[in-house]
Amino acid sequence: MMYPLTPISITDFQLYELLMTLGLLAIALAPAIAIIWFIYTKDEYEREPTGLLAIAFLLGIVSIIPALMGGALGESLGYGTSQNIGTTAIYAFIIVALSEELAKFIFLRGYLFRKPDFNEPFDGIVYAVMVGMGFAAFENIIYVIQGGLAVGILRMFTAVPAHAAFGVIMGYYVGMAKFDFKNKNKLLAKGLFWAVMAHGAYDFFLMQERFEILGIMAFIVLFFSIQFSQKAIALHQDASPFHPDRLNENEFLVENEDSDIPQVPPVIDGAEEIL
């Protein structure tokens, strides 16, 4: 038996709510999309396959799960924002920053680092930022839907770029580690360490409740993190073995210890450590 279709009635208020939600969703995603495009275009000489970039982004979303578990564990132990500077520092640097950056690092090192397409130092930055943007985009959607337009605008110029900068910091060292077998573990540890330090400092100055004036220090940390990121990007671009000026210098192949596929050995002499 057929029943007549009943047209769905949408009130003006429901339509307004739907449009507002879609608008907030667009605002939440816009900074991550812009940063992804920026980093993608900076990979000038040998761009990464879009499928692997999408996987990296999805892994960033998945990394929220272990990060939340670490945060929940810390909070269950009594750590959080408070008037106590020491307690807030432990919460910012270990409970939040270490949990989040370690979660991202695990996927970066455990999966993306081993891929044959990871074949130049700059790829460390590309994949680290993609993972970071997956994390930041999902996190931003939650904050913006809950907090509204003002939160979306604020985070567009603070939290999301901060995640990108922390990703560049980590990816800079991971990119060098891929091709420096002798110092690989040292460089990987540095990448994680400095990403945690930058993230922790940024969060600490925002979270501490003892001295309100210290909140401005978070923006100083963000400024220097972005400055570092710009220099790191330039150094790894210049160190690319696919750079037109480098191609004649890299006519031979080497074996990568994590892959049976021969790869062009990047020239990393120009990508000296920044920190």
pLDDT in tens, 34-56: 999 999 999 988 899 999 999 99
Can you tell me the mean pLDDT for 122-127? 96
- Is 21 part of a structural domain of the chain? no
- Is 14 part of a structural domain of the chain? no
- Is 4 part of a structural domain of the chain? no
Query: What is the number of domains present in the chain?
Result: 1
Can you give the pLDDT at residue 3? Answer: 53
Domain enclosing residue 40, as ranges? 26-241+251-263
pLDDT in tens, 52-94: 999 999 999 999 998 888 878 877 777 767 778 888 899 999 9
Can you give the pLDDT at residue 254? Answer: 44
- Is 3 part of a structural domain of the chain? no
Return d(Cα 176, Cα 267) in angstroms, integer.
Answer: 10
Tokens 């990508």, residue located: 271
Can you give the pLDDT at residue 262? Answer: 40
- Above 50 in pLDDT, residue 209? yes
Complete DSSP assignment for 181-204: GGGHHHHHHHHHHHHHHHHHHHHH
Sign, CA torsion 136/139/145/148: negative
- Is 275 part of a structural domain of the chain? no
- Is 86 part of a structural domain of the chain? yes
pLDDT in tens, 154-199: 999 999 999 999 999 999 999 999 999 899 999 999 999 999 999 9
Q: First-to-last CA distance in the chain?
A: 74
Can you tell me the mean pLDDT for 219-244? 91
Can you give the pLDDT at residue 253? Answer: 40
- Is 7 part of a structural domain of the chain? no
- Is 13 part of a structural domain of the chain? no
- Residue 72: half-sphere exposure toward Cβ, Cα within 13 Å: 6
In this structure, the dihedral spanned by the alpha carbons of residues 107, 96, 226 and 85, taken in order and rounded to 10 degrees, is -160
